[in-house]
Structures are given as structure tokens and as C-alpha cells.
Amino acid sequence: MKLSLRTKIVTLCLLGIFTCLEAEEVPFTIATGLYDETKSETLGLDYAEGTETVTIFAPTETTDKFSNGVVMTSFKGNLYCMWQSSAKDEDAVDTWVAYSRSTDGGKTWTAPMVLAETLENGYCSSGGWLATENILVAYINTWPGGLSPKGGYTRYITSEDGMNWSQPADVKMADGTTMNAVFEQDPHVLPDGRIVNSAHFQPGLKVYPIYTDDPLGVSGWKKGSFTYTANGDQSRELEPSLYQKADGTLVMVFRDQKSTYKKMAATSSDRGETWSKAVVTDFPDSRSKQSAGNLPDGTVYTASNPVNNKTRIPLALTLSKDGNHFDKAWLLRAGGSDLQPQRYEGTAKRACYSYPKSMIAGEYLYVAYATNKEDVEYTRVPLASIQMNAESISTMKQEGESVYVTDKKVLNVILPKSQAMHVGIYNVAGGCVANFKAQGRFASWNLTEIPMGIYIVRVRTVNGILVRKISLK
């Protein structure tokens, strides 16, 4: 069939439009040459100043020898770490959820304690944490035996002291039914208190963004409107994490099970209720779990294995000032001499830094992971070494600018001239506890509902970001 010249021109124009639209949908870009692929052990990256690694658990002849799904949190001044544990093999019928506690800032850790025992017919794996001021929630992913296709549901337990736990209960959807899905391990609390995460729903493992306004994150969950890509019993998009751009847009970053060895990403502009179609980005990825988030100054980070193959080496931290363009990266763990040898054999075990998950506590970013799927470890980096908005923070200091709290817990913000301001108040763990907007040169807010402690105030205007530390007494 011959096409007229006019038809050809129209077709080419439409193709060009669709290509541009597809390009515009990609939520972020990455700097060319950021990773040197010729240097497989390090990707040509250096360690940020102050980076240190700690081993929480190492197997011996008398202990379990398989560990994975390592997740940390901070609660009432102590650090906690959970992981799935088994004698030898991944996802074996003897798999249970272990946890350890540190009361000295992560220097020493207890021997593994039981968070969830294995099932008589099936097994349990780590589902992550949610820490509020007074209650610690531990999520337990529960995998019934004989379920085809393979899938699971989510339970939870709670504690007020991190040692004594409630009986397990099912996590509930908004309609009161059990969440018949496997919970991803890093729920994110938005500035207004909404919790956004993802879960892999039955039948099989089909990913959906999820959200709730329940402050404990144990009920009221709803699926976000999202169209996954079918891939047999799983979705193509798997095991995501997320971060927030300065304008409030949420970006969910996925593992691509189609083996492009690139991250996929989707966005939401309505607090997680509706999402764009996930698209393939240029960000290299080993087809593994990752962890993303925001530092207190707004810097966006992702911890992952940014390589174009299944080798989960090295482990790197990649940064962006605004979540639109990633152009800085640091080494967390390298191959070669930095990687201890694998000591025990087991199903799905190999040399690797597996399934990183992150959290902020005090003045550090913590990234937890399993080395060779047997050693439970974390690497922490001082926030001062990796925050990328320090220049805009320092240059915004001008005559007539002031941020202070009165003895009646009233926050005052004074700027050199009248303008729109977005003010966020963050605890030392990086969580946003309050969020305000104002127009003018002067604004004030009552903070009496916020507990005593040290907080970071971020004031964002068209001129940059001003960050100040305040103390509420």
C-alpha cells in the first residue's frame, strides 16, 4: 500500500510527538560517565568522608548460615535490625525473622532474637519497620505453603520498648480485608503524615503502590491507581522504593524483571493515589532491590548496585540535588579486598551486597544489607559528607533573614523580602513532622504539638533553601 506524501508527513509528526511525550515521562536522568564500568570493583567511585561499616551478625558453624532482607530502624534512642534467617538456603521452609538491638549507637549488637517464627506450612520473611514516637511496628511477610502461584500476605507486631511484642495480626486494607500482598520493606511517611509504600499482591506477585492515613500503618491501606506490566505470575516492575521531589511529586523506582538492567520509574502528584505508567530510565541496575529517599536538606539518594548485569557489586550511593538529575555518587562497599569471602554454601548464595535498605538516624545515613547472603551488615555515612544542597543553604544567608523559636514554642521565619515560602520541620531521623506554606516576609507557627527535641527547619523559596537547627524545650 502506497502512502501519500501528506500521510507520511503526518505519520512522522505523530511519531515525533509520541517520542517527545515518552521522553518527557522519564522522571529523572543520570550524568553520563558517572560510573566507570571498566573498574568493576569500584566503578571508579571513592568513599565519602567518615564512611564506616559494621557487622551486626556473622554466621558460625553453630548458627544459621543464610541471611537476607536486612532492614534497620531507630526507636527511642536505640537501633534495631531485622532480617530473614535460615539454616542454609534462601526462602527455605525453616525461614524465620530475626532481629538484633543496639543500645550504644550501633557499636555492639545482641545475638539474634526471634521476631517471627517460621510457619508449620510455609515461612516468614522480613517486612520492614515503622517507628512512631511511642510504638515500633514490625511487618512480617507471610508465605503460606502450597499457594500457587507463589504469593503471601502481611502481618504485624508492635512494641513499646523494642523487646516485648504483641501477638501477630493481619495488616488490613481500607475495606477491612487482609492485605493479601507481600509488603515492601521501606514505607515512607509524607510531611502530612500519609504513609506511602508498595506491596506485591496475589495471585502471584503483582506490584501496586499503596497508601494509608493510619499513623501506625496497620490498617486503612488502599491501592494506588497503577497499571503494572504483566510478566507471567509477577509484574515486570518489582521491589520499588521512592523519594519526593521539591514540588511534592513522588517518584517510585522499580527493579525491572525484564532484565534491561535499568531502573524503571513512575510518578504521583496526588500523594500516592494515582501513578503514571512506569518507564525505563538510563539508571543502571543489577536487577535487585534498592532503597531511595531524601536527606534532611532535600538531597535525593538511592542505594543500589548500579551495574548492567546481575553482579551485585559494588554497593553505591547515588545523589541528586532535586531528584531530577543524578550527578554524584559515592562508594559504600567495593569488590576485591573489601568483600569478605563467602564461607558457607546455600541456594541463591553468591558473592554480593544484597538488597540494601536505608534509614536516617542522628547525623548519619544508614544502609543495611546482606553480604554474600550470610553476613548482616550496615554502612553509615555522615550526612554532612553527602548533602548536596549545602551551597544553596550557605548562600541564602542574607541580612534580614532569621529563623528562631520563642520560649513558647513559636517558630518565626523572617526573610529579606516578601515571597512565597515552604517550611518543613524534620526530626533527626529525617522524618518530616510538620509542613507549612506562607506568603510574605514574616511568618510564624505554633509548635506546641511537637515533642521536645532537636529538629531541622528547611525554608524553601525561589532563592534557594535555608536550613537551620532548632531546639524545642
What values do phi and psi take at 259, rounded to 5?
A: 65, 40
C-alpha to C-alpha distance for 255 and 411, rounded to whole angstroms: 42
The DSSP symbol for 338 reads G
Burial code (b: 16+ CB inside 10 Å, e: under 16) for 216-249 equals ebbbbbbbbebebbebeebbbbbbbbbbbbbeeb
On whether residue 257 sits in a domain, the answer given is yes
**pLDDT of 18 strictly over 50:** no
Domain containing 408 — which CATH number?
Answer: 2.60.40.3080
Are both 292 and 237 inside the same structural domain? yes
**pLDDT of 39 strictly over 80:** yes
Are both 76 and 218 inside the same structural domain? yes
Q: Are 424 and 435 in contact (CB under 8 A)?
A: yes
On whether residue 8 sits in a domain, the answer given is no
Domain containing 335 — which CATH number?
Answer: 2.120.10.10
Are both 324 and 429 inside the same structural domain? no
On whether residue 301 sits in a domain, the answer given is yes
Domain boundary among 352, 386, 420: 386
Q: Are 136 and 74 in contact (CB under 8 A)?
A: no
Q: How high is the pLDDT of residue 15? A: 47
**pLDDT of 2 strictly over 80:** no
Name the grid cell of 116. 517471627
Are both 374 and 419 inside the same structural domain? no
Name the grid cell of 230. 504483566
The neighbour count for residue 79, using CB atoms within 10 Å, is 26
Where do the H-state alpha helices sit in 352-457?
A: 383-386, 390-395
Are both 397 and 362 inside the same structural domain? no
Domain boundary among 386, 408, 430: 386
- The arithmetic mean of pLDDT across residues 170-188, rounded, is 97
Q: Which candidate, 81, 117, 86, places its Cα nearest to that of 99?
A: 81
On whether residue 283 sits in a domain, the answer given is yes
Name the grid cell of 271. 500523594
* CA dist 430 → 29, 140, 262, 365, 413 (Å): 25, 24, 28, 9, 21
**pLDDT of 399 strictly over 80:** no
On whether residue 25 sits in a domain, the answer given is no
- For 53-82, write each residue's pLDDT tens digit: 999 999 999 999 999 999 999 999 999 999
On whether residue 19 sits in a domain, the answer given is no
C-alpha to C-alpha distance for 68 and 353, rounded to whole angstroms: 10
Average pLDDT, the chain: 91
Are both 139 and 121 inside the same structural domain? yes
Are both 130 and 271 inside the same structural domain? yes
For residue 112, give its domain range.
35-386
The neighbour count for residue 212, using CB atoms within 10 Å, is 23
- The arithmetic mean of pLDDT across residues 372-392, rounded, is 89
With cell 494509608, the residue in question is 212
Are both 326 and 459 inside the same structural domain? no
With cell 504513609, the residue in question is 195
Domain tally, the chain: 2
**pLDDT of 103 strictly over 60:** yes
Domain boundary among 369, 386, 403: 386
On whether residue 345 sits in a domain, the answer given is yes
Are both 60 and 185 inside the same structural domain? yes
Q: Are 129 and 137 in contact (CB under 8 A)?
A: yes
Confidence of residue 21 (pLDDT cuts 50, 70, 90): very low
- The arithmetic mean of pLDDT across residues 305-327, rounded, is 96
Are both 359 and 431 inside the same structural domain? no
On whether residue 24 sits in a domain, the answer given is no
Are both 310 and 446 inside the same structural domain? no
- The arithmetic mean of pLDDT across residues 441-464, rounded, is 84
Are both 320 and 434 inside the same structural domain? no
- For 238-296, write each residue's pLDDT tens digit: 999 999 987 889 999 999 999 999 999 999 999 999 999 999 999 999 999 999 999 98
**pLDDT of 12 strictly over 80:** no
Q: Which candidate, 436, 442, 406, 440, places its Cα nearest to that of 424?
A: 436
